[in-house]
Amino acid sequence: MSGRLLTNRLAALRARVVSLVEAGSADDPTAGDPLRGLYVTRETALRAVEARPTEEVPGTGWDELVPGDPDDRLPALARRFGLDAVDARILLTALAPDVDRAFEPLFGYLNDDVGRRRATVALALGLAGTGPHEPAARDRFHPGAPLCAGGLLVVEDEDRPLPGRALRVPERVVAHLLGDDGRLDAELLGAGVELLPPAPDGHAAPADPSAGLAERVLAAAPVAVHLRERSPGAADAVAAALCASGRPVLRMRAGADGARVAPALLREARLRGAVLVVEPLPREAGALVRALAAPDVTLVLAGPDAPDPRWAPEAELLALEAPAAATGSAELWRAELGPEEPAFDLAEAVAPYRLGGGLIRRAARSARALAAFEGTELTAAHVQRGARLMSAPLLDSHARRVRPAVGFADLVLPEEPLRLLRELTGRARHRDRVLGDWRLRTGGGRGRGVVALFAGESGTGKTLGAEVVAGELGLDLYVVDLSSVVDKYVGETEKNLERIFAEVDRTDCVLLFDEADAVFGKRSEVRSSHDRYANLESAYLLQRLEAFDGIAVLTTNLRANIDEAFTRRLDLVVDFPFPDPEQRLSLWRACLAGAPQAPDVADAVADCAKEFELAGGAIRSAAVTAGYLAAGRGGPVTGDDVRAGARREYLKAGRLLPGAGAPWAP
């Protein structure tokens, strides 16, 4: 329908152009010359000199901008881009050859050049009832005028005088006026721009905290908003809520060429009446924000940093905190996973994840696809794997990722440490309810993080305990590489730690500081510059833990080395005791459970557990040694292999072997 209406307008324009051609050829001495347009005769030159501007000829209705038919897109386009009737005439004249080839020879004749079949500035102004002799008419082709600033018109041939410069309308504008909005502008396809159409159901999930913000943004539109994200996906959630409210959204992943495609992006937003969502913002975002800040387009910017007033000094940029995605958003997950009730406890499975509506949608889609690929019913593992993909932190340069493969059944500990570890997982799941909904968090900018200290001798299971906690929560474990964090230059260690804390704050994982006393050590009396800067590192960490929002575990072999000020900021302190003979026996059996065993292994394991005082880590190393001895021999693990492994661990530790007359003595 839009194409037919545009064709009708162009038919009226064509009639006017034909009448102009006929009027021009009536007194043109070269009208019948077959070479007309290939050269300029003396008579033509003299006639051009004697020509004078004519009075405006009344239009025939082709430039009418009063909205009539709802499918007529020209009045709506003129309203969105601030065009008047003369601008509309110029635009229609410029796009005429792109829709109807009959205009090409007509324009070629009027341009007195068979090779120039597009409208020129002089021709378009003449058809609009004015001419290049009027300053106001020439100003319509200024880069800041609505036609050019809005990206509706391109004035070509920069080396020619303005009246003779050709006019071109981008294909995207032509397609829109013809009623085609199916595809994005080709210029935007390679710039990370995505079109999110309005949601078909027209409503957001009831538990989505972004729905209220989206409603306020639309009520205040047009408006420019900056959302400071505390966790990833806030902009995705707002974009989804805007779509659910019935508005199309153009979302751009800001990159190096963001400012370059900004004019095309603004034009696309105006053509569709869409909201612009840009995230994440680069640190140097001034040029991009200035290019996108328009008084007639709703713009939502998102990023982890605070907005800079210098980004857009002439635009009023509202700075807001992005709505935090609460942990345990089971209603959002249930809405995205489908109407069927899962066969597992969905609320418990997703409790540790702080994902917004947009990321939950993508994670749920990934979980369903993974379950379909494996040909099984949807499980908690599928959901947690999809969530981990959406919230993986960028810590590869400072930490080592460990995918948990153990559970509480793999831990051999007394009841008290096990109870504290289970309490730690409960704190991670329910922190938003307790600290947020129940308002049990004090002020002072304190975060909702969970920080625990695991203390005990080497090999007693501290690292394994952190892996168990991460596995129980369905999160990845990231072990901080101290060699990449600690720096000899003043201030660099704090910068590296800040990168780690900031990334963990906004994502979902368990952070492990192994041998934490290297960075969380006691402050000392200042006797040298080294002491002063070492104390600065501790002071920074004390302040940073107050505002921490993630989950962190510190481990140490010497609890006395940890500054007492850190202890107050810890949620839990779990002591990992040295295993007694009964626990050592359980550890030996667990470590050798998967290996083929000779009949005498049971007695050897019982003897070693009783006589060799080894921690869990040493027992595991001894079991591995026994396995290698058996594999090299090509048989099962024997009692002698077990005793040899235990003896080797004693010798590695520099300890005397027990009982010279014992069967394991050398």
Per-residue pLDDT, 47 = 47
DSSP string, 148-162: HHTTS-EE--TTS-G
- Rounded distance, CA 639 to CA 642, Å? 5
What's the burial of 525, exposed, middle or buried (CB within 10 Å: 0-12/13-18/19+)?
Answer: exposed
Per-residue pLDDT, 92 = 93
List of residues 6+ apart from 583 with CB closer than 8 A: 412, 413, 414
Per-residue pLDDT, 177 = 92
Could you give the angle at the alpha carbon of 248 between the alpha carbons of 242 and 254, nearest 5°? 85
- Rounded distance, CA 267 to CA 257, Å? 16
Per-residue pLDDT, 37 = 53
Dihedral sign for Cα atoms in the order 59, 65, 66, 67: positive
> What predicted TM-score, i.e. pTM, was given to this entire model?
0.72
- Rounded distance, CA 555 to CA 452, Å? 9
Q: Which residue has the tokens 């004090």?
A: 442
Q: Which residue has the tokens 């009208």?
A: 31
Answer yes or no: are the C-beta atoms of 273 and 247 closer than 8 Å. yes
**CA neighbor of 270 nearest in space, from 67, 72, 79:** 79
| Count of Cβ atoms closer than 10 Å to residue 101 Cβ | 10
- Rounded distance, CA 232 to CA 218, Å? 22
Answer yes or no: are the C-beta atoms of 106 and 99 closer than 8 Å. no
- Rounded distance, CA 468 to CA 160, Å? 74
Answer yes or no: are the C-beta atoms of 185 and 270 closer than 8 Å. no
Answer yes or no: are the C-beta atoms of 202 and 244 closer than 8 Å. yes
Q: Which amino acid is at 622?
A: A
Structure tokens at 573: 């302190």
Q: Which amino acid is at 360?
A: I
Which residue segments constitute the domains of the chain, with CATH numbers given? 2-177 (no CATH), 186-321 (3.40.50), 330-390 (1.10.8), 408-576 (3.40.50.300), 581-652 (1.10.8.60)
Answer yes or no: are the C-beta atoms of 417 and 575 closer than 8 Å. yes
- Rounded distance, CA 452 to CA 553, Å? 5
Answer yes or no: are the C-beta atoms of 309 and 221 closer than 8 Å. no
DSSP-derived letter for residue 254 is -
- Rounded distance, CA 67 to CA 73, Å? 9
The pairs formed by 196-199 with CB atoms below 8 angstroms and a separation of 24 or more are 196/239, 196/240, 196/242, 196/243, 196/248, 196/249, 196/250, 196/251, 197/243, 197/248, 198/243, 198/244, 198/245, 198/246, 198/247, 198/248, 199/240, 199/243, 199/244, 199/246
Query: What residue ranges in 385-447 does DSSP mark as E strands?
Result: 399-402
Q: Which residue has the tokens 């899962």?
A: 342
Q: Does residue 52 sit in helix, strand or coil?
A: coil
Which residue(s) pair with 597 in the sheet? 637
The pairs formed by 14-18 with CB atoms below 8 angstroms and a separation of 24 or more are 14/96, 14/100, 14/102, 14/103, 14/106, 15/60, 16/57, 16/59, 16/60, 16/62, 16/127, 17/103, 17/106, 17/107, 17/110, 17/127, 18/106
Q: Which amino acid is at 439?
A: R
Profile the chain (666 residues) by mean pLDDT over runs of 10 residues: 72 79 65 54 43 38 59 87 92 92 83 84 90 92 94 93 94 93 86 81 55 84 85 72 84 75 92 89 80 89 81 77 66 83 88 80 90 93 90 80 92 95 94 84 77 93 95 93 80 87 87 85 61 71 87 89 82 94 95 94 94 94 96 95 94 78 49
